[in-house]
Amino acid sequence: MASLALITLSSLVILSAIGGGSALEYTVTNTAENTPGGAKFNTDVGAQYSRETLDAATNFIWGIFQQTNPADRKSVARVSLFIDDMDGVAYANSNNEIHVSARYINGLSGDVRREITGVLYHEMTHVWQWNGSGQAPVLLIEGIADFVRLKAGYAPAHWVGPGGGDRWDQGYDVTARFLDYCDGLRSGSFVAELNKKMRGGYSPIFFQELLGKSVDTLWADYKAST
């Protein structure tokens, strides 16, 4: 079994080195293979597709964040995906690990692969985005991740439509739609510039500096425009 694991890991390294052009290593480990959700991951998504998606998401995110210069990016050598028998949907941690719930996968109907692709784009954003050195609101960070998912074309049907929500920092799909509006006000560069500013800290004044209005005024404009 140890030899098999070594062979598998070597294959992952080779595939990441020649497959995506991003000079990153992507590993996929299904710790829940003996559960219904883990088995469903293997049949409906699979490790090979997941590695390809992680690499595609990385390059897409660099494009969204306008990080053509490696010096503008986080220094990441490996991203590890785990399919685990756990509650919830997914999370990314500071070790550049993405954990996806096999129980969530088991509960999915319809296009399972598309939904997990969207989840991976969201979680990969957490790997690459700046978080204001921990000062940025968590729900803004989540909104940026869903903004990337939205721009990649993987927004689920149950998301709120444009103009939905009660607060700009409500998070997830609400904040993603608001950020999409703000992005349009700056020719598609607002989120990239906001992320760049959050490399060293965070302040709501960033919205004023980039768009000439406070975030609350922008939210009111957004609600009135839809």
pLDDT beyond 70 at 7: no
The pLDDT value recorded for residue 23 is 77
Q: What pTM value is reported for the model?
A: 0.90
pLDDT bin (cut points 50, 70, 90) of residue 19 is very low
The pLDDT value recorded for residue 17 is 37
Q: Where are the domains of the chain?
A: 9-128, 133-226
pLDDT beyond 90 at 194: yes
The pLDDT value recorded for residue 20 is 40
pLDDT bin (cut points 50, 70, 90) of residue 14 is very low
- The residue with greater pLDDT, 17 or 129, is 129
The pLDDT of 87-101, averaged and rounded, is 98
The pLDDT value recorded for residue 81 is 98
Report whether CATH 2.30.31.10 matches the domain 9-128. Answer: no
**Mean per-residue pLDDT of the chain:** 91
The pLDDT value recorded for residue 37 is 98
Q: Give the per-residue SS3 of the chain.
A: CHHHHHHHHHHHHHHHHHHCCCCCEEEEEECCCCCHHHHHHHHHCCHHHHHHHHHHHHHHHHHHCCCCCHHHCCCCCEEEEEEECCCCCEEECCCCEEEEEHHHHHHCCCCHHHHHHHHHHHHHHHHHCCCHHHCCCHHHHHHHHHHHHHHCCCCCCCCCCCCCCCCCCCCHHHHHHHHHHHHHHCCCCHHHHHHHHCCCCCCCHHHHHHHCCCHHHHHHHHHHHC
pLDDT bin (cut points 50, 70, 90) of residue 2 is very low
* pLDDT tens column, 108-157: 999 999 999 999 999 999 999 999 999 999 999 999 999 999 999 999 99
